[in-house]
Amino acid sequence: MEADVLDTIDPHLLGERIAESRRARRLTQQQVADALDLSRATVVATEKGERRPKARELVALSRLFGRPVGDFVAARPLNGEPGFIVHFDRALKTLSTEATEGLGPAIERFERHCRWYVELEEMLGAPHPQRWPEPYDIEGTPLDRAAEEVAISERNRLGLGDGPVSNLADLLESDVGLRVIPVEMGGTEVTTMYLMTARYGACIAVNEARSGDIDVAHAYAHFLTNRQRPEICQSRTPGRMSHEERFADAFASAFLMPASGVQRRFEAVRRAKRGKTITPADVLMLASLYRVPLPAMARRIEDLRLLPAGTSRRMEQPGISGERPVSHGSRFTTRYTTLAVQAFEEGLLTEGQLAERLGTDIIGARAIVEGLTEGYRTGRDGHAERVSLDLSADLLGAD
């Protein structure tokens, strides 16, 4: 291999590819260092892009990882697919300059976390289940009716009945097979981004500063009806939305606030009050139960003709979303967090790499590990004793 080939590639990209290949082979940085007769610090610097590897080292790495040298130096992604920024090119052109400002780094973060997600699955032999329905054909059906029909079909398919959804992101990951990634998007008005690729499957990026379950359900609607087309969704202004966006909004409302459940609970409140006035406090309690903003619940009740037209405008102010932090303390989904912690527990990730993948510092990462794997029980002497959960234990093979 010509030495000058190494001079034509970004050392950070090269280091990232080396790190990806090492983790896919379930090797530690120390094992790679021993195999190449280098120090671990040298391997760390190489993976961070702070040091450019020598040609002979790259040849040795290709043998160690069992992949061609070309995989490391080729001017294309390792998976052979274009980057997310290329996929979103058409969608970006439909947005204003103000909306797209600062969005490039957010798209890169989205892609990086999707890549890390797949790497974790490959490391641990835990492929993402895909229970995708056939795309729904809504052409020719009135928008509101189509939204209700698709929402009811999906709720029935997922066995949800007409009750609240306790954690939509976890539900979509475990029962559908989507990836839901919280992403820091700066001051942009973008709420979610949706994309499907051959390697990563169907993925939703959620603006962690301004998005809730309503926005996740909105992106889910795009997956259900037109999953091949990447979408970038903004804060929505009624009257200026496309037919697809209006359908997605209607679906989100119908899916998270099913008509039969909301009607039954609303009537129960009205009967309990024995004809007294329904107040914003009553709507607020329903919004909290269904984990949606107060204005969204008010509009839904109004659409169901349980309140007079125009009532929702009186509550067009920031409400509560009903979101509750998950027990493990991570801003990522339970599945992604558990895979990352398991990889760390098995020595496949360093503490620093774990913190990076969980978007926190080392102290925060330690707290997440503890939240998932440690607890207390009462010992035989009646005192509390600390116990740890082995995330990699073979439960089927246990005695």
Is residue 101 located within the same domain as residue 209? yes
Q: Is residue 2 very low, low, confident or very high in pLDDT (cuts 50, 70, 90)?
A: very low
Q: Is residue 155 very low, low, confident or very high in pLDDT (cuts 50, 70, 90)?
A: very high
396, part of any domain? no
Interatomic CA distance for residues 145 and 295, integer angstroms: 22
Is residue 274 located within the same domain as residue 247? no
Q: What is the pLDDT of residues 72-99, one digit of tens each?
A: 776 555 555 678 888 888 888 887 776 6
Say if residue 373's pLDDT is above 50.
yes
Interatomic CA distance for residues 219 and 195, integer angstroms: 10
Residue that wins the pLDDT comparison between 2 and 153: 153
Look at the alpha carbons of 52, 344, 201, 229 in this order and tell me if their dihedral is positive or negative.
Answer: negative
320, part of any domain? no
Say if residue 374's pLDDT is above 90.
no
241, part of any domain? yes
Among 73, 104, 126, give the residue marking a domain's end: 73
Mean pLDDT over each residue of the chain, to the nearest integer: 81
Is residue 32 located within the same domain as residue 140? no
Beta strand segments in the chain, E = 179-183, 190-197, 201-207, 231-234, 374-378, 384-388
Is residue 218 located within the same domain as residue 242? yes
pLDDT attached to residue 396: 42
* 339, 126 Cβ separation under 8 angstroms: yes
Burial of 240 (0-12, 13-18, 19+ CB in 10 A): exposed
Is residue 130 located within the same domain as residue 242? yes
Is residue 251 located within the same domain as residue 273? no
397, part of any domain? no
Is residue 29 located within the same domain as residue 67? yes
138, part of any domain? yes
pLDDT attached to residue 146: 96
Q: What is the mean pLDDT of residues 253-277?
A: 85
Is residue 27 located within the same domain as residue 66? yes
329, part of any domain? no
399, part of any domain? no
Query: Which domain does 28 fall in, by range?
Result: 3-73
DSSP letters along 108-137, please?
HHHHHHHHHHHHHHHHHT-PPP--PPPPP-
Among 73, 96, 113, give the residue marking a domain's end: 73
Is residue 251 located within the same domain as residue 263? no
Is residue 250 located within the same domain as residue 270? no
Is residue 92 located within the same domain as residue 18? no
pLDDT attached to residue 79: 53
Q: Which two tokens stand for residue 352?
A: 């620093």
Number of domains observed in the structure of the chain: 4
pLDDT attached to residue 119: 87
190, part of any domain? yes
Is residue 294 located within the same domain as residue 308? yes
Q: Is residue 141 very low, low, confident or very high in pLDDT (cuts 50, 70, 90)?
A: very high
CATH number for the domain including 18? 1.10.260.40
